[in-house]
Structures are given as C-alpha cells and as structure tokens.
Chains A and B, each alone.
Chain A
Amino acid sequence: MIARSIRSHWKIVLISLLGLVVIVLPWTVNPFRIRVFTLCGIYAIASTGLTLFMGFTGQISIGQGAFFGIGAYTSGVLAKAGAPFIFAFLGSGLITGFIGLVVGVPCLRARTFYLAMATLAFLLVMHTLFKNLVSITGGTSGLGGIPPAAIGPVSFAGFTEYYYLVWGIVAIVIYLFYRLTQSYIGLTFRAIGSNELAAESLSANAFRFRLLSFCLCSFLAGIAGSLYAHLDRVITYESFTLEESVIFLIMAVIGGLGSIYGGLIGASIFTLIGEQLRILERAQIIIIGVMLIAIVIFIPHGIASLPDKVKGLITGGGRKTST
C-alpha cells in the first residue's frame, strides 16, 4: 500500500526531501560556506531561464551572461539610488526582460546557429559597455556599496537570511515555470520547438511565442543578476562574460533542457562538484567537461530525464514526456 503510494507520488516525495535538505542545510555548514549554496540558487534561476528558452522552444542563446549582468547593474544602481529591494529586484527583472524584447525582435528572425551568433555578439557588446560606461557601472573598479536586501522591516543582510530569501525565490520561480508548462502557452512553446510549420498551420504565431520565451528567459536572468548584486554587494564587469553564459548553458544541458528542474539540477551538480573539489580547481573544469560530454552522448535530455528512462526500462513501453 505504502509502496504503491510512494511509486505514484514519488515525485512529490523526492521534492519534499530535497526541500528539506535546502531548509536544513545552513544548520549543517559553516556560515561562511553558505555563500556558495546561495550562489547555487542564483545560478539555478539563470539557467532555468535557459531551459525554458532552449529546451521548450528549441532555440539557442549565448547571451544569458549579458542579461545576468544587466540585471545585476540595474538592481545595484536602483538600490543605491534609494529604491527598496523589492522594487530594485522586480525592476531589474522587468528592465532586463524589456531589453530581451528589444534584442529579440531583430535576433529571433534567425534560427539556431545564426541566433547563437547574434546572442554571442550581444554578449560581447554588453561586456564592453559594462567595462566602459564608467559613470553607471564603475568601470574596472566595479559598482560597490550596494545596500543589503530588505523587505519592509525584515533585513536579509546576513548570509543565512539571504540564503533563505534566494531559495524561496527559486521555489517560486520553479512553481511558476510549472504553471507555465501546464498552460496552453507551454504547450505552444513545445509545439513550436518541435515543428514550427505544423504549429503555424494551427494558428500559432511562432515568432511572437519565441519572443515571449526569450523575454521570460532574460527576465529570469535579470532577477538572478539582481540577487547576485545583493549577495556580495559589489559587482564588476569581470563577472559577466562569456564564461558565465557558457556555465549557465552547461548547467541547463546537464540538468536537462526539457525539464522545469533542469536549471536547478545543473546548478546543484556544478556547485556540489565545485565544493568537493575546492582544492583541485583545475580538476573541476575537467570533471564538468567530461560530465557534459557523457551526458550529451548517453543522456541527451539531461539528468532530469533519468527517472523516466529508468521507468521505461522497468516497464518497457510507451514513455510519457517528463515535466
């Protein structure tokens, strides 16, 4: 009875267990190491944006690092100008999403390879702007003195408090992503990613939906950037490079592009491996690289697709899509 119950509700059980791990974690680690796990959550949000854009609508973006930076600087500037955290947080998301719209309109006319090149170009342009718009970004010395996050009277200045704030937002993001996949918008995204011509014959405006997907992706990068800005409370242009874009991409691919948990899984694996191999920094890159190759060859749909694969092996039959 219980076994059957667990089998059909295994997803909920697993999520609850993981949720428990997240909640309990700060009590089990040195407060100074909490920052790494907070960063994990921030990266998870940014790569979740990519799993949406790349996994569901089937496109490619190498620009996520740029949007991450735009979000960070926007939030930093707004907060320093006196805006309350919530305002800076949502504001940077919306502004970054809007810039995604502006960039998307010309770029999304292109597909796959050419789109990748266009987003890469955007990244390089933004990187230069971050470095040179000294009055806004502080140029090479960076943007410092960003006030800590606070919602009303509750301050999130401490490592632990901020950790919970970030992971609370991660949970909300994934929940909303789940709602999206259950909606007709999500279905249309998948249809367009699968076969654009057929989707258009059923009255889906493919360009518009791709644009929407891109805006959501950059919105998420924006709020992730905002959370990043309020983490160390100082940011420099060196944090928003091709390396970040690639890291988000790798996290999304390893985690699973077709899954709402893809970004989270990828970021977690990245962080855990980084944590275990703190001393051997070079080894980190190699291990991630090998893992990426292995995943792409053997489990192309990412770690998130493993449960269904295993289920398929056990039951052997028509397999459902994973959510």
Chain B
Amino acid sequence: MAMMEIHSVSKSFGGVQALDNVTMSVEDKKITGLIGPNGAGKTTLFNVITNIEPVDSGKVTFDGRDLTNIKPYHFAKLGILRTFQRSMPFGEMTLSENVVMGGIAVSEIGKLGGFWRTKKAKNILEKDKQKAMDLLKVVGLFERKDMLANNIAYGEQRLLEIARALACNPEILLLDEPVAGMNPEESLEMAKLIQRISQDGLTIFLIEHNLDVVMNLCDEVYVINYGKIIANGKPKEIQQNEQVIEAYLGKKGVWRAAG
C-alpha cells in the first residue's frame, strides 16, 4: 500500500474545474513528482490534500487514514509536512528560532512548555535547540543561525523551510516548487538536499516546474493538465510520452527542459 493515496479528487472554483478526478499514489520512501503547465492544478492539489481548501469529491488517505475532516493545523502531527510555493519564513525570527518552532509540535515539553525553567525543562529545551542546530548544519545554514530570516537570501530561505519542516519529524514531505526562483547553483544544492533526505528514508512528494530537477530526482512522475492526470510513469517514459510533450509545447517536438 502506498503511503499516500489520492482517490478521484475533484475541486472547482466557480466555473473552473481545478482538479478533475485526480487519482494517484505516493509510494513509501520514494520521490514522487507532479509536473504540469502553469495553472494545471498542482498547488490546488496540495491545498486540497492538507485541507486548506475542501474537496468537492473524492478523498485522500495517508497510511490508510482518511484525511477528509482533519484540520490544517493537525497535519504536522500526523507526519505530513508541506512547504509553500512562495517563501514563507518567520521573517522577524532568527534562523535558529524558525527551526525550533518547527520542532515544537514533537517536543517532549509540549507546545505550551518552557514557561517555568525546571531542570527537566531546561534539558528538553537544550535538546530541541541542538536538534535545530543539527538541521541547520544539514541544510548548510548553521553559520547564520542568529540572523533574522528576513535578512538571508531567497534561496537560503527555502532551505530554511526544509530544515524547519524536518524539525517536525515528518513521514512525508510535500514540497511545492522547492527550486522556484532559484539560480542553477541553488537549484542543484536543493536537489542534492532532497536526495539526501530521501536516502534517509523520508517519503517525498514534490511539485516542480524545473524539468531537469524532476527528471533527475524522481522515481515516479505524474503529469497533470487542466486538472486531469494525463500520464504517469518513470521519468524516461514521461519524457517520451507524446501527450505530455504536446501539453507542454503545444505540438510534437524535441523534449527540452523548460527549467
């Protein structure tokens, strides 16, 4: 059984059918990618999975559990962490505080903890801080740990968000265009990071426009167009799929990553 199953999910906004009977599965411990032209419904799918928008019909299950009525703030506790298309750091907080905030949900001291500094509390707070430091090291931001998130580069903010999500001990990461707005070096660094995380056993479901990244990273790729899944398979198969090429380029042509 796949870790996350999306069963015939449909969603419309007014007259626009954003998602049309979308069915797909995200395999355990693999990297699954979702690609498609702009406006095809990719981010809407993420919003619907995490209940930021309700589905019109269909359902999403995670480890067999129906996610339909779960409130958005509950998803992190279930192990489902997502990042957003636009960079969303806690700007006025330091990098270190950002990552610690990520770990609050799974902290031994609880979300309301740390008010009274008992010995036990101090130990747990120190442990949480250490975990945040380790994660900052993983994404290469440790040296800047005391800088405000607003003051670091855009690409670094996106790395920060990954560290922050990892602090919550996720079982699955939903990454919405992780390399959007990044130059080639930053994209490569992010891709390497994602690969490392995946090798550590995390399941990853990502949306991307950058076809180089998708084709090199993903084990399985789904293609969506006008709210419908039009193809899925291994990257090599997708690259040769005529329907997909047509959707992206409007006519048959040489497959060139649009980046």
Q: Which of B67-75, B221-229, B246-254 contacts its partner?
A: B67-75
A202 lies within 8 A of B114 (CB): no
B147 to chain A, nearest CB (A): 4
Given contacts A184-B109, A320-B146, A321-B148, contact A202 B164 (CB under 8 A): yes
Residue of A nearest to B76 (CB): A203
Given contacts A184-B111, A187-B100, A320-B146, contact A203 B75 (CB under 8 A): yes
**A287-323 toward B: CB 8 Å interface, digit per residue (1/0)?**
0000000000000000000000000000000111100
A residues within 8 A CB of B52?
197
A203 lies within 8 A of B115 (CB): no
- Verify if B177 is at the interface (C-beta below 8 Å from A): no
A202 lies within 8 A of B76 (CB): yes
The interface size of chain B toward A, counting residues with CB under 8 Å, comes to 45
- Verify if B41 is at the interface (C-beta below 8 Å from A): no
- A185 to B110, alpha carbons, bound, how many Å? 10
B residues within 8 A CB of A190?
90, 92-93, 97
**B168-208 toward A: CB 8 Å interface, digit per residue (1/0)?**
10000000000000000000000000000000000000000
A303 to chain B, nearest CB (A): 18
- Verify if B10 is at the interface (C-beta below 8 Å from A): no
B91 lies within 8 A of A194 (CB): yes
Contacting A at CB under 8 A, from B86-108, are: 88-94, 97, 100-102, 104-105, 107
Is the interface on chain A under 10, 10 to 19, 20 to 34, or 35 or more residues?
20 to 34
Given contacts A202-B102, A318-B151, contact A183 B90 (CB under 8 A): no
A184 lies within 8 A of B72 (CB): no
B107 lies within 8 A of A184 (CB): yes
- Verify if A246 is at the interface (C-beta below 8 Å from B): no
- A46 to B27, alpha carbons, bound, how many Å? 55
Contacting residue for A185 out of B73, B84, B115, B161, CB 8 A = B115
- Verify if B158 is at the interface (C-beta below 8 Å from A): no
B144 lies within 8 A of A318 (CB): yes
B148 lies within 8 A of A319 (CB): yes
**B140-161 toward A: CB 8 Å interface, digit per residue (1/0)?**
0000101110010000000001
- A204 to B75, alpha carbons, bound, how many Å? 10
- Verify if B81 is at the interface (C-beta below 8 Å from A): yes
A residues within 8 A CB of B97?
187, 190, 321
- A183 to B88, alpha carbons, bound, how many Å? 23
A204 lies within 8 A of B111 (CB): yes
B15 to chain A, nearest CB (A): 26
Given contacts A201-B50, A203-B77, A318-B151, contact A184 B89 (CB under 8 A): no
A300 to chain B, nearest CB (A): 12
B93 lies within 8 A of A183 (CB): no
Which 6 residue pairs of A and B lie closest in terms of their CB atoms, listed nearest first? A203-B76, A183-B114, A318-B147, A203-B105, A194-B90, A198-B88
Show 26 residue pairs from A and B whose CB-CB distance is below 8 angstroms, ordered by the A residue. A182-B114, A183-B113, A183-B114, A184-B104, A184-B110, A187-B93, A188-B104, A191-B101, A194-B91, A195-B88, A197-B88, A198-B88, A199-B90, A199-B101, A201-B50, A201-B82, A201-B84, A202-B81, A202-B101, A203-B73, A203-B75, A203-B111, A204-B73, A318-B146, A318-B147, A318-B151
